[in-house]
């Protein structure tokens, strides 16, 4: 009988602990949010664009989180790992692209940010100009902001 009482007491303590701090509750969250601004988030595109100017795919890929997705303007293939992104950028960089933001909207959360809008790419090698829509999502990893998803698509109307 004593063993049953001890077991019931232990179960009661365990359940009480769960009830007082359910998983996913605000009080269970210990994440510290990085303070940021729209200017800091806007500068992340500049950092990415500057990495394009180096002509080195690996430097562009360094802007992306290990677990991220690239849905690129000129590829039908989702790029899910660093090697796939590097393959895309090696070809994309051949025409020496330069991006310019035309309009944007920035939303900031706890260690996350979204920059979405319209941009124009000019390709120095060919002279081509491509207007596109974009969305970048970012996550603070404790030391830097990295892209977790990047979607870009050419404007449907000419």
Is this structure's pTM higher than 0.85?
A: no
Residue 15 or 100, more confident: 100
pLDDT digits (tens, 9 = 90+) for 53-85: 999 999 999 999 999 999 998 889 999 999 999
Do the bridges between strand 129-140 and strand 145-154 make them parallel or antiparallel, or are there none, so unpaired? antiparallel
User: 42 φ, ψ to 5°?
Assistant: -60, -35
In this prediction, residue 106 has a pLDDT band, given cuts at 50, 70 and 90, of very high
User: Is there a single domain that holds both residue 26 and residue 45?
Assistant: no
Residue 98's closest CA among 41, 47, 153, 50? 50
pLDDT digits (tens, 9 = 90+) for 112-132: 999 999 999 999 999 999 999
Tell me how far apart the 2 most distant CA atoms of the chain are, in Å: 86
User: 47 φ, ψ to 5°?
Assistant: -60, -45
Domain containing residue 93: CATH number? 3.10.450.50
The owner of tokens 């941009």 is: 119
Partners of 136 in the β-ladder:
115, 150
What's the whole-number mean pLDDT along residues 17-24?
A: 46
Structural domains in the chain (count)? 2
What's the whole-number mean pLDDT along residues 27-39?
A: 86
Partners of 44 in the β-ladder:
none
User: Is there a single domain that holds both residue 81 and residue 97?
Assistant: yes
């Amino acid at each position: 009988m004593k063993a049953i009482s001890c077991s019931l007491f232990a179960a009661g303590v365990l359940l009480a602990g769960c009830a007082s701090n359910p998983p996913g509750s605000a009080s269970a969250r210990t994440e510290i949010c990085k303070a940021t601004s729209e200017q800091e988030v806007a500068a992340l595109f500049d950092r990415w664009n500057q990495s394009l100017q180096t002509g080195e795919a690996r430097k562009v890929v360094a802007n992306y989180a290990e677990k991220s997705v690239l849905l690129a303007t000129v590829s039908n293939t989702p790029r899910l790992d660093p090697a796939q992104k590097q393959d895309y950028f090696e070809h994309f960089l051949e025409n020496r692209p330069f991006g310019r933001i035309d309009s944007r909207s920035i939303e900031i959360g706890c260690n996350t940010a979204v920059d979405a809008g319209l941009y124009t790419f000019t390709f120095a090698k060919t002279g081509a100009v491509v207007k596109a829509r974009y969305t970048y999502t970012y996550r603070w990893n404790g030391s830097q902001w990295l892209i977790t998803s990047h979607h870009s698509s050419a404007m449907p109307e000419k």
